[in-house]
Structure 1
């Protein structure tokens, strides 16, 4: 009876061990994975939904301006000397307005940004500060005419002298708030027929940086007012319910699945997310991650550098590398970002580290990383001071939490430049050196708050408990199985049939043999 109980005990312990092995190797990880996916998916019941719909903390939007300290000398042919002033810091709030749900597991929404000047974070800087900067809008207008109809440049320049107040050279003295958000007034009232053509073209094309004056007598030019309190989109984004690896991927913007401005399927691809959400990593980080930037009509990508610890959290660190804005000789895939018909003797491809966004903005603007970081050193030779690329100050990067893919900290930096071109027929440009001139650079980024850090720490602690529990269960099952095996062995449960050659069998009562008796 005791042996039968022992064998039953052993059988049950083996079954428990098998179940524990299945749970440890497949069951627990699958349950945990399912819960993580459920919390990240974009649906009303998920933990992530409200945090995605309205960012719980504002981003920091920092602006650094390039003040020209020797404008008069530059007008006479000297190299520019610049003085970086900043950062002017703004709090950037983001809210998404849900329009509905589409086919193929997508959600459609509009994105609204709101900017507030942060005086405390800006320190001694103030929006009323005056700076001397390159006249971005004047050069954009003039260069457009020079590239399309050079013969009309002088006539148009006469009109621009009426359009831009106090225009005497390619620089302007302006208040920071007017340049960035409030706007610089540009006059459309006058008898000059060319002025009417310039203003008519602006009314027709409605460039985002030009805001019509309320009295219809002109326009206000500013770099970022079109981003403030204005919805962009619609965006169509994957929700991650059908395939968690597609979570956050933008599949269409403004009802378009490609950016046709580049005239090429590769460069026109819409890749990645809106930078607020990424798929879970779960210990298998992708080599690259992408974000879509509608302001420059293309996607950015960052390459995996490796694992990092930040805020006592395990993360993967990604950084933009030189291949993003590489010349076509270094990265042949970038050849479709070259602007065709740049000039008669140029294929439109710029130097290393630059991107011409004319096809996107319909204006001759060129973007780069701040201070021409990762760009050709040839560009730096144009300046006599004030440009100093530094990886620590000018890189763009993101830390993604090692399991969930949540953005722990991220910074994106971008510089806006325009060509200052020597044009002998134009009085304002007849003596300047030709070169690429920076106006400003921006830094847009955030890091999770202490409360969100605590949430992630708590979630990771729970995961560690679950991890410990599954191995404890497996360990106890093994111990139970070993103990039951020993118990069965000691009770003889493992030897149900006697060994016929054993001493016990020979000496068993009733089986005595007279060994002296010989037949």
Structure 2
């Protein structure tokens, strides 16, 4: 049975639609990866018109600083020569807010900015409160004592008398808030009065006091507008192309980014390199493994064992010496510690962490994971659908070409093996009554 004219018209329309779908699918296979890459590169550059500019300006990802203290359990016994006993207290968690200001775009495809940080205590994430008391070594007393080691005996006696008068002890019992953000101590005023420049602070002393409500220096980084391969890389820090804290050109180099963002399309062969003002040096993290976070593919980078190795174990780190034990870096050459001699004394340890969440995570997943995945599958679906629809007019054409009808010829005589045709005329009888013989 063939196709009617209406059916053939419909089949032709489906064929045209199939051709369009196949062509569109083929074009998407060729063009979509390039288009997606171009859109990503356009929207990650540091430019007020890019989608990521506001995220770069004020990072919406919540960062947390988790601090753990070593609480000394036997201070009196330690003064008698016994081994210290400590217990770990914490974490005391602070939400870290970062925002950039003084943003200035330069003519050489760079932008300069100051980034300020503030910390806010998070009781719900902490194991304890800022009013908790911690017993730990009195850093000011120990620092002053170290400075007096090579001084005349008279000066040592005066300092000892000052310690007694001011009620200073080798160990102090302070709250977490005081240790973190500062406390007033009469010893600071005394030292600054008679030994100016001995301490790098004038009023309050706290381990993290200089980090709160402060900036990490003037960074100048590449925007990626003219050259996307250099995006986020540091051009200068505080106007310097390299620092002079260390004893080799390699150690003084300012490499990588400012430590928050890196160029897109990184691979396991890439490394995460950044300059840390707190450590006064560049650091490089190496790829370890792949993973998935909330449906988003990730790469995990970790610090290599050689990062803080001393020069005897890893010769390139010789420039950071005078070296201590591996895992410890002396930053007294760049952090305003005054004339305090280096002392290895474990007081606390801390960790910084951050992860996308909420609307930022949803937007990131939709635009960079879900949409590319949908377009990836859509191009193959369109190509397959187009091929199927193209078969419809072909099948209709084949069905319209049925077998030809056969036509019988009348007047054929019946043979011995063939019955007479009902359409064969009968001849009249002969006069003799015999049937006439057939004529040739």
- Report the TM range for the smaller structure's normalisation: 0.7 to 0.9
Matches of 1:65 and 1:34 in 2, distance apart? 48
Matches of 1:197 and 1:441 in 2, distance apart? 33
Give how far 1:243 is off: 2.8
Report 1:89-488 matches (<5 A). Answer: 89-123=93-127, 125-143=128-146, 146=149, 150-152=150-152, 155=155, 158-159=158-159, 162=162, 165-169=166-170, 171-187=171-187, 196-198=193-195, 200-202=196-198, 207=200, 210=201, 212=202, 219-281=203-265, 284-339=267-322, 349-363=323-337, 419=343, 436-459=344-367, 460-475=369-384
Structure 1 or 2, whichever has the larger Rg, is: 2
**Partner-residue secondary structure (3-state), 1:295:** coil
8 Å Cα contact 1:160/1:195 also seen in 2? no
List per-residue Cα deviations over 1:14-33 (Å, max 9, x = no partner): 999899656524x2211100
- How many matched pairs? 386
**Partner-residue secondary structure (3-state), 2:216:** strand
Give how far 1:327 is off: 2.2
List gaps (5 residues or longer) in structure 1.
Answer: 1-12, 213-218, 340-348, 367-416, 420-435, 490-519
Relative distance call for 1:482 and 1:102 in structure 2 (3 A) is farther
List per-residue Cα deviations over 1:320-345 (Å, max 9, x = no partner): 23111112233211111112xxxxxx
Give how far 1:186 is off: 3.6
8 Å Cα contact 1:237/1:248 also seen in 2? yes
**Residue 515 (structure 1) aligns with:** none
Relative distance call for 1:16 and 1:461 in structure 2 (3 A) is closer
Matches of 2:298 and 2:258 in 1, distance apart? 20
8 Å Cα contact 1:184/1:222 also seen in 2? no
List per-residue Cα deviations over 1:227-271 (Å, max 9, x = no partner): 112233211112122233322222221111212111322111222
8 Å Cα contact 2:148/2:155 also seen in 1? no
List gaps (5 residues or longer) in structure 2.
Answer: 1-17, 399-440
8 Å Cα contact 1:186/1:221 also seen in 2? no
**Partner-residue secondary structure (3-state), 1:91:** strand
**Partner-residue secondary structure (3-state), 2:103:** strand
TM-score by length of 2: 0.76
**Partner-residue secondary structure (3-state), 1:78:** coil
Higher relative contact order (CA 8 A, sep 6+): 2
Matches of 1:295 and 1:115 in 2, distance apart? 16
**Partner-residue secondary structure (3-state), 1:260:** coil
Relative distance call for 1:458 and 1:189 in structure 2 (3 A) is closer
Matches of 1:464 and 1:57 in 2, distance apart? 24
Relative distance call for 1:470 and 1:144 in structure 2 (3 A) is farther
List per-residue Cα deviations over 1:189-241 (Å, max 9, x = no partner): 66xxx87442x114xxx73xx2x3xxxxxx21111122112233211112122
Aligned residues: CA RMSD: 3.7
8 Å Cα contact 1:94/1:111 also seen in 2? yes
